[in-house]
Structure formats: structure tokens, C-alpha cells
């Protein structure tokens, strides 16, 4: 059943609440569509070649445009901004953007939380400057501990040790607790689940395992390659007892703590238990297109208003877009898969819109 707006929301002309009663609270801001990795589930080498038409620098939003955009979103209810990509650390001078974003305040005068998702390859050199600029949290993607498996998965022969150095540098800079996200693909890294769990127990790292999704980029996706969150949890529980943790409704991960005090671990069941009911996230691509869902086929180009300095119209357009939002693609795609329809729906590239 589709929940209707409450009387209070409906009576508030400024409220930014969609047709399924979900408020706009999070912004994922992609700063670049390029990446230095070629993970087959996201940016496969045969598609993302040297000739691939990545955005040219002039097509990307400038930092000033991103700051205007972020300020507008914060005025509409956003409390948390996650910087993503592509690989965000490839964008030059990123601390300058972080510094400006970290100065934003919500209409209630509270600071906006600035977070970032990165593959960690360039983190060791930049962690301190990012922390000093006001970055509050960082999530590092890491799919394997075994160097051979990791090099094969990133498909550019990048050594795992340098990502681990990046994680250590981030922790040393005070970016703790830090999250590590591992995407699990049955034939590639299912055997890395336990080594990753063992490695990050008793550390300031909150490890989360993500089900392999059929997002844009994952061209050869097959249900048989998905290890479900329940299967991953069972595997870990063979070695370590887990206790469920209560979480925020809009949290993407189901959280657990190790019963012996070894820290936390989580599972993101984006395929086996798609969650759209509490999705409060808007996404903006590096060229300024607003996507209301990770799987949206359509977007709204915000650049014309940004480039013309028409912030009032920009705000109206975002508000109107969010209020008309009906997206619940993950749930709908689950139904399609159950009917055996396969992937016949259009998908936006994850590297463009950010994870």
C-alpha cells in the first residue's frame, strides 16, 4: 500500500516529501565519472576503454556549482552529503570542496555530515588533508584481502597493500569509525568473506558485505553469482556468534556485532531483500543530472539553472522532482527477476551516478 502524506506534510508548502512519504535527507554527489580501477561488476575493461566518452572537464560541475547545489539541497532537508564517483580522489583539489561543504548548516543550524566513498587507492596521501578540511567519515571499497584476488578484481593489477595503507592512514587521521564495503561475487571472491571478517575484527573498521547488484555497468550480471546476505551471515556465524544491532530506518545495511566484543559487521541485501521504503537519497552525477534512484533511467539536468545562477528555479525544480518521486525500482526489479524476465530494463551507469 502506498502511504499518503501526513496532514502536517501536506499542509507545509515547503516540505520535500515524495509520493511514498519519504523525506529528502541524503545527497550523493558524484564529482567525476572516471575511475582508476576496472572492476568487472562496475566498469568492465572491454566497455570502459581508452576511447570511452568520459565527461570532459568542462562538462563536469565546478566546485562552485557543486557548493551552490549542495546549499540548495541542504535548504530542502538534506543532512548528509556523500562525495562519490567514479573515483572521487581523482578529482583535483578535493579538500577544497570538502572544506566548503563542511561549512554548510541545516535550516535548524546543525552541521551537515560530509562523507566519502572511495576505492582507497589514493587515500594514504590524502586522508589527513581531507580530515583537516572537515570530512567526517569515509567508506572504502575492498573486495578481497588476498593480493592475487584483489589485483584480478580491480583488473588494473593494483596491490591490496596500498588500499590497506589508505585505511590505516584514514584511521590515523581520525576518520574513524571507518566503513569497508565488500561486493561479493560468487565465482570471484566468496572465499574472501571470512578472511575479510577476521582481518577487520577488533579494529575501528565496520565491515559490510554487499550483494552483487545488476546495476548499469554490471553487464554480465546473473542471479547465480549473487551470494545472499543470509548466506554470508551464516558463513560468518560458523566461526563467530553475531548479535543483531538496531539501526536507523534508512540504513542500507543490517548491522550485527560480534558477541565476543570484536566489533561490528553488516550486510547489504540489495538483491535478496530490496529496500526502497525508507530511501531518502538523491543522487547528482558529475555533470549535474539529478537521479532520484540508483536504477533510474531518467534524470533532470540541473546545470542550466546552475550556470544561469537561477537558484530559486533550481530549488523549485528539485522540490517538484522530489515531490513527484515514485521510484522503487529495486523492489520492482525483484518482482521482474522472480518472474524470470531477466534484465530488460534500462539502467544508468553506476560510475556516472555514484554508488
Binding site for ligand SAM (CB under 6 A): 35, 41-42, 84-85, 87, 117-119, 141, 181, 183, 210, 212-213, 215, 217-218, 350-351, 354-355
Nearer to ligand SAM, 66 or 215 (CB): 215
Before 177, cis peptide (omega within 30)? Answer: yes
Query: What span, in angstroms and rounded, lies between the C-alpha atoms of 131 and 174?
Result: 7
Residue nearest to ligand SAM (CB): 355
Query: What span, in angstroms and rounded, lies between the C-alpha atoms of 325 and 5?
Result: 13
Contact (CB, 8 A) for 41 and 182: no
115 three-state secondary structure: strand
Nearer to ligand SAM, 68 or 351 (CB): 351
Nearer to ligand SAM, 288 or 354 (CB): 354
Residue 211 to residues 53, 185, 270, Cα–Cα distance (Å): 29, 8, 6
Nearer to ligand SAM, 118 or 280 (CB): 118
Query: What's the closest the beta carbon of residue 311 comes to ligand SAM, in angstroms?
Result: 28
Query: What span, in angstroms and rounded, lies between the C-alpha atoms of 296 and 345?
Result: 10
Nearer to ligand SAM, 121 or 173 (CB): 121
Query: What's the closest the beta carbon of residue 315 comes to ligand SAM, in angstroms?
Result: 27
Query: What's the closest the beta carbon of residue 319 comes to ligand SAM, in angstroms?
Result: 27
180 three-state secondary structure: strand
Nearer to ligand SAM, 23 or 288 (CB): 288
Query: What span, in angstroms and rounded, lies between the C-alpha atoms of 251 and 161?
Result: 30
Dihedral pair phi/psi, residue 334, rounded to 5°: -60, -40
Query: What's the closest the beta carbon of residue 32 comes to ligand SAM, in angstroms?
Result: 9
Contact (CB, 8 A) for 37 and 43: yes
Amino acid at each position: 500500500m502506498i502511504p499518503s502524506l501526513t496532514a502536517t506534510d501536506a499542509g507545509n508548502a515547503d516540505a520535500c516529501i515524495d509520493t511514498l512519504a519519504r523525506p529528502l535527507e541524503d545527497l550523493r554527489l558524484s564529482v567525476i565519472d572516471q575511475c582508476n580501477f576496472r572492476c568487472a561488476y562496475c566498469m568492465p575493461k572491454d566497455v570502459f576503454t581508452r576511447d570511452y566518452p568520459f565527461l570532459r572537464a568542462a562538462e563536469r560541475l565546478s566546485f562552485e556549482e557543486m557548493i551552490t547545489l549542495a546549499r540548495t539541497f541542504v535548504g530542502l532537508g538534506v543532512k548528509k552529503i556523500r562525495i562519490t564517483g567514479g573515483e572521487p580522489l581523482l578529482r583535483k583539489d578535493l579538500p577544497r570542496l570538502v572544506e566548503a561543504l563542511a561549512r554548510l548548516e541545516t535550516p535548524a543550524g546543525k552541521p551537515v555530515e560530509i562523507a566519502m566513498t572511495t576505492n582507497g587507492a589514493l587515500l594514504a596521501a590524502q586522508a589527513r588533508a581531507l580530515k583537516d578540511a572537515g570530512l567526517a567519515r569515509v567508506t572504502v571499497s575492498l573486495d578481497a584481502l588476498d593480493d592475487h584476488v584483489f589485483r584480478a578484481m580491480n583488473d588494473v593489477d593494483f596491490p591490496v597493500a596500498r588500499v590497506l595503507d589508505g585505511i590505516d592512514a584514514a584511521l590515523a587521521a581520525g576518520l574513524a569509525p571507518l566503513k569497508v564495503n565488500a561486493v561479493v561475487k560468487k565465482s570471484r571472491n566468496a572465499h574472501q568473506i571470512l578472511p575479510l571478517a577476521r582481518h577487520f575484527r577488533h579494529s575501528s573498521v565496520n565491515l559490510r558485505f554487499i550483494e552483487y547488484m545488476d546495476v548499469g555497468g554490471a553487464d554480465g550480471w546473473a542471479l547465480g553469482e549473487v551470494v545472499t546476505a543470509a548466506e554470508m551471515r551464516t558463513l560468518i556465524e560458523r566461526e563467530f556468534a553475531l548479535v543483531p544491532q538496531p539501526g536507523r530506518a534508512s540504513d542500507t545495511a543490517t548491522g550485527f556485532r560480534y558477541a565476543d566484543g570484536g566489533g561490528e559487521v553488516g550486510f547489504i541485501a540489495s538483491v535478496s531483500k530490496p529496500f526502497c521504503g525508507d530511501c531518502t537519497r538523491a543522487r547528482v552525477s558529475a555533470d549535474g543530472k539529478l537521479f532520484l534512484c540508483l536504477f533510474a533511467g531518467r534524470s533532470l539536468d540541473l546545470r542550466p539553472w546552475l550556470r544561469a545562477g537561477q537558484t530559486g528555479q533550481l530549488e523549485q525544480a528539485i522540490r517538484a522532482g522530489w515531490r513527484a518521486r515514485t521510484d522503487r525500482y529495486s523492489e520492482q526489479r525483484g518482482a521482474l527477476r522472480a518472474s524470470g524476465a531477466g534484465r530488460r530494463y534500462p539502467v544508468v551507469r553506476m560510475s556516472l551516478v555514484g554508488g
